[in-house]
Structure 1
Amino acid sequence: MMMKQSSFSFSVILLFLLHCTTTLAQPAAAPAVPAGPTAAPPPGPIVTLTPPPLGAPIPSGPINVIRILEQAGRFTLFIRLLKATTVIDQIEHQLNNTNGRMTIFAPTDSAFSTLSSGTLNSLTDPQKESLIQFHVLSSYIAQSQFQTASNPLRTNAGDNSRYRYQLNATSYSNSINISTGITNASVSAVIYSDGQLAVYQVDKVLLPWEIFGSKPPATAPAPAPIAPALAPGKPKKVKPAPIAVTPVNDDTTKVDASGAASLMTMQNVVFFFAVMVAPIIFS
């Protein structure tokens, strides 16, 4: 009886030890992490390939044209010329200090690569500045407004008459063509548009006639008018020159008149003597 009780007690103790060993061997559960807010994605680039929808908020802060072109990633040469000619200073001053409106036609790097070798290096500094100003309009033209834009467009290069800085835009159903008389380019993308500034990508450098075109020949002066020839057989009438008359003293005129009267009387006497008296005397 004593042995049965000892065996039972030993079994209970053994089962208790096995239970404790199993419990201690299990890994502790990881503490619960409170759910936090989802991290916001990084802001997207401001560069767009289509115009922003109407009513979209305009980004705050000054407009940075260089940043817009840099984010597009294909306007390295155009950016370099904007900085080298200080045209970028004029653009950003007009946009940010005077609330002006602008349209920029930006040629891509591949557009510059189509120019003949040495084209840009052959230009003087004023010509380079005029070339870049030729790509800038001091007015905002939305993509849909090219259909009603008045040609030629007025660029910052100045005189838009023929053989100078003439720029014409023609809008079709799905494209916009830009012509300078030398270059025919297409607007291939809308880089930026916010109602104040529009930046359009063009596939060619816009070459103005004033710098790259042949000048028209100078107009010859008009010949002097030729006097009409006289009809044959008709002598030319010459108006006689007036004869100057010297005034004569009245007394001298009277003496001359009386002397002439006396001379005529003597002539009559001699004539009468010769005709009537002489034949009688000598007969």
Structure 2
Amino acid sequence: MATIVDTAVQAGTFKTLAQALSAAGLVDTLKGSGPFTVFAPTDTAFQNLPSGTLDDLLRPENKSKLADILKYHVVSGRVRSNEIQSGNVQTVEGQSLNIQKQGQQVRVNDANVTQADIAADNGVIHVIDRVLLPNNR
């Protein structure tokens, strides 16, 4: 098995996320011991941001803003889908995500979990179909 970052890169649908993690200086953090739960937006999710948003966020002068957005997708601990419960959960960015679970369907804020429980040595990845934006971002 590999770290969350290595697992995401190998999956092939997270090229933009990997690029953003690198630009934000978060690769080493998410290669750390963790454990982490990452709600990982796909490349398509990043492409669905308003035109120019991603390019703007990847600029060096926006590194801290990008880091905050990415940290908003990360929760401390390893939370598998069978452990997810409806309610609010605090992110490593500091704000909370709203989780709604109905049967096997899970929503995180306004994003749907499209694939759950991709295991990594230092946590777990749940694939989502939208980029989550913290308040004031």
The reply to whether TM is greater than 0.5 is yes
Query: Which of 170, 177, 180 pairs up with 2:107?
Result: 177
The aligned residue for residue 93 of structure 2 is 157
* Cα distance per residue 1:253-283 (max 9 Å; x no partner): xxxxxxxxxxxxxxxxxxxxxxxxxxxxxxx
Cα distance change of structure 1 residues 194 and 82 upon mapping to structure 2, 3 Å threshold: closer
The aligned residue for residue 46 of structure 2 is 112
Question: Counterpart of 2:67 in 1: which secondary structure?
Answer: helix
Gaps of 5+ in 1: 1-58, 161-165, 212-283
* C-alpha distance in 2 between matches for 1:91 and 1:109: 18
* C-alpha distance in 2 between matches for 1:87 and 1:196: 14
Question: Counterpart of 1:204 in 2: which secondary structure?
Answer: coil
The aligned residue for residue 11 of structure 2 is 72
Please give the root-mean-square deviation of Cα atoms over the aligned residues, in Å.
Answer: 1.9
1:37-56 superposed matches below 5 A = none
* C-alpha distance in 1 between matches for 2:45 and 2:77: 24
- Contact 2:23–2:63 (8 Å) recurs in 1: no
TM-score (normalised: structure 2): 0.87
1:263-278 superposed matches below 5 A = none
TM-score (normalised: structure 1): 0.44
The aligned residue for residue 202 of structure 1 is 128
- Contact 1:72–1:191 (8 Å) recurs in 2: no
* Runs of 4+ with >6 A deviation: none
* Cα distance per residue 1:74-94 (max 9 Å; x no partner): 11100101111121211222x
Shift of 1:194: 5.8
Larger RCO (CA under 8 A, 6+ residues apart): 2
Cα distance change of structure 1 residues 110 and 194 upon mapping to structure 2, 3 Å threshold: closer
Question: Counterpart of 2:91 in 1: which secondary structure?
Answer: coil
- Contact 2:39–2:74 (8 Å) recurs in 1: yes
Percent of pairs with identical residues: 28
Gaps of 5+ in 2: none
* C-alpha distance in 2 between matches for 1:210 and 1:144: 32
Shift of 1:69: 1.2
* C-alpha distance in 2 between matches for 1:195 and 1:72: 15
Between Structure 1 and Structure 2, the one with more strand by share is: 2
Query: Which of 8, 27, 30 pairs up with 1:88?
Result: 27
Cα distance change of structure 1 residues 195 and 92 upon mapping to structure 2, 3 Å threshold: closer
* C-alpha distance in 2 between matches for 1:194 and 1:207: 24
